[in-house]
Amino acid sequence: MTDETLKTTPLNAAHRALGARMVGFGGYDMPVQYEGVLAEHRWTREHAGLFDVSHMGQCRISGADAIAQFERFVPGDYAILKAGKQKYSLLLNAEGGIMDDLMAGKPDHDGLYVVVNAGNKDADFAFLEANLEGDAKLTVLADRALLAIQGPEAAEVMAKHEPVLSEMGFMDCARLMLFGVDCFVSRSGYTGEDGYEISVPGDQAERIWNTLLDDARVKPIGLGARDSLRLEAGLPLHGHDIDATTSPVEGALTFALSKSRKERADFNGADRILKELAEGPSRVRVALSVKEGAPAREGAEIADMDGNVIGNVTSGGPSPTLGRNIAMGYVPPKFAELGTELKVIVRGKPAAAEVVAMPFVAQRYYRKPKAA
């Protein structure tokens, strides 16, 4: 896309005023960095990073049949999800491939609030509009912006504005007045760090953005550090690590398959997914520590110790936290055991790699203590 055809978020002028380097992403003109990816990555790990994620798609699914209809296309059990909770899930096609990954929750008593990826949102919304039946209505929230604040100081920053936010735990969500406006707030994150996502009216986004940046603990963070942070956290990026051909089993996302839904087998692609659970998939997503040479980027081949190509890297780069190169990619299950020695082919040269555990860097989401 040319600059003329890229869409903009309500914060575009704010990014430019901060001197951000802008790039096209998901059809939007977005900030890739402000002061540098490494500095922004480290700031988020140590303090609080503020991200503009307004390019992502927000919608409501309401009506008496909303949850039953939504569950036709996702493998999570939303019928039993309590109010004030959200859950990660996968929008599946008829073949069990991942059309998108998403967050859906119950911040209030009006069905579901759903957030999908920017590059897929038009297709996702069209799919849902065409396939939701009965009393289930899709409402696209095109007039809202979405901010994410992430890092070990994020909770203290947000509690200054609304003390009740400190009482939320990982995967809690709520609809409340915040910064004087109607907001949807969740506590999760795509960085592996504790933090919040805040959906705000688009015409209030710049005011709220600047209010948060007035706190010395908060700095703006671009897409570059967002990508290196989520890679360290072992989190897939749709269109790269997972796509419409990938099953949840291949993508190492079986935690998103609710036990009750597997038993009912009443969602898109259930036959394929249950078969792969029973018999194993032909490939599986793994984490790789790249022990030498240049970073193994998306598209690099993965080979066994005899030099036979067995898979491909889907995401990779330097890990600022670990000080070494890391990657994710797909290999046959027999090569997926922890400690398996492999090679990655970078610029025609094989480099030693090892299958390691995901995430590369421990996730630090805040989980509320269980009641005695």
pLDDT value of position 372: 57
The answer to whether residue 75 is domain-embedded is: no
Q: 325 and 219, same structural domain?
A: no
Cβ-in-10-Å burial (0-12, 13-18, 19+) of 172 comes to: buried
CB 98 within 8 A of CB 242: yes
Question: CA-CA distances (angstroms) from residue 233 to 96, 218, 219?
Answer: 25, 21, 20
The rounded distance, in Å, linking the Cα atoms of 186 and 81 is: 15
The answer to whether residue 137 is domain-embedded is: no
Q: Does the model's pTM come out above 0.85?
A: yes
Question: Of the candidates 141, 135, 68, 74, which has an alpha carbon nearest to the alpha carbon of residue 103?
Answer: 74
Q: 159 and 226, same structural domain?
A: yes
Q: 293 and 171, same structural domain?
A: no
Question: Of the candidates 188, 364, 191, 361, which has an alpha carbon nearest to the alpha carbon of residue 287?
Answer: 361
The answer to whether residue 351 is domain-embedded is: yes
Q: 321 and 215, same structural domain?
A: no
Residue 136 has φ and ψ, to the nearest 5°, of: -140, 120
Does 41 have pLDDT greater than 60? Answer: yes
Q: For residue range 136-148, list pLDDT tens digits in order.
A: 999 999 999 999 9
pLDDT value of position 371: 67
The answer to whether residue 90 is domain-embedded is: no
Q: 223 and 287, same structural domain?
A: no
Q: Domain of residue 215: give its range.
A: 12-54+142-232
The rounded distance, in Å, linking the Cα atoms of 363 and 126 is: 34
Q: For residue range 43-58, list pLDDT tens digits in order.
A: 999 999 999 999 999 9
The answer to whether residue 294 is domain-embedded is: yes
Q: 333 and 208, same structural domain?
A: no
Q: 198 and 332, same structural domain?
A: no
Looking at the structure of the chain, the number of domains it has is 2
pLDDT value of position 370: 80
Q: 286 and 227, same structural domain?
A: no
Q: For residue range 222-254, list pLDDT tens digits in order.
A: 999 999 999 999 999 999 999 999 999 999 999
The answer to whether residue 249 is domain-embedded is: no
Q: In what order do the strands lie in the sheet with 112-116?
A: 86-92, 98-105, 112-116, 57-62, 137-140
The answer to whether residue 341 is domain-embedded is: yes
112-116 and 57-62 beta bridge pairing: antiparallel
CATH number of the structural domain spanning residue 38: 3.30.1360.120
The answer to whether residue 160 is domain-embedded is: yes
Q: 199 and 348, same structural domain?
A: no
Domain end (from 232, 251, 267): 232
Q: 286 and 228, same structural domain?
A: no
Domain end (from 174, 202, 232): 232
Q: For residue range 71-129, list pLDDT tens digits in order.
A: 999 999 999 999 999 999 999 999 999 999 999 999 998 899 999 999 999 999 999 99
Q: 290 and 226, same structural domain?
A: no
pLDDT value of position 2: 54
Question: CA-CA distances (angstroms) from residue 104 to 2, 26, 152?
Answer: 33, 20, 24
CATH number of the structural domain spanning residue 313: 2.40.30.110
Q: 49 and 153, same structural domain?
A: yes
Q: For residue range 311-368, list pLDDT tens digits in order.
A: 999 999 999 999 999 999 999 999 999 999 999 999 999 999 999 999 999 999 999 8
Q: Sorting pLDDT into bands at 50, 70 and 90, what band is 4?
A: low
